[in-house]
Structure 1
């Protein structure tokens, strides 16, 4: 039997709608202003943390292969069919932003709209749906046996 921290996963999934809305507004109203740049950084950062947190919970809970890096978390959940390869490619690009956003923030180009900002609403929504479908498929049969 698996112990999957469904509560922590659900808590992070609940953050996605607001983050998707904020990203869509930023992309649609972009003027390159300082506050927009800072908000964009935070949206991208939160998005990649949500993906890696949920991926880590899935890896631990379902005893999947250990991930060696943030990008590898995405690779593991793609390999376990939580997400498809197309989504995995875009999520790897998102997760690769962790270092620039967290460590090299002094070099980040705040006046520029990052291409992933406009993609976040669809990308995160699809990720959420994929995770929920995976949990239903993998855990519901166990729940019915109780």
Structure 2
């Protein structure tokens, strides 16, 4: 193989990783939350499926990679993160929304696992159970699939 072929191969191989880092890193930096926690929440909430939608018993919906609940729509609009609910299906916007919501939990509970668990629920039992799940995912290492990384690479939203 010629050197140019090696370079192109390396670029094509790394592009999804760079783009994944871009969406996650931008959100992590903007909202001062750990990127690895965002990645773990994505894994737990949607398994890396950007089109994930969940209809809850109370009639609310959870959207996208970070399963953003419709109860948060007005807050996300007032913060300028979204203009309308459908924007939550855009992967990078969904990550921005989730990172913002997580940052609010850190502001409320401090920089700890309780805050991470509160991303899912403020109810102690559910909060602590969720925090333990996220902790296990974090301890296991990187979790986003190549498919998710490729999707984030093709996303133009920030």
What interval of TM-score do these two structures reach, taking the shorter chain for normalisation? under 0.3
TM-score (norm. length: structure 2)? 0.27
Between Structure 1 and Structure 2, the one with more helix by share is 1
Between Structure 1 and Structure 2, the one with more strand by share is 2
- Higher relative contact order (CA closer than 8 Å, sequence separation 6+): 1
TM-score (norm. length: structure 1)? 0.28
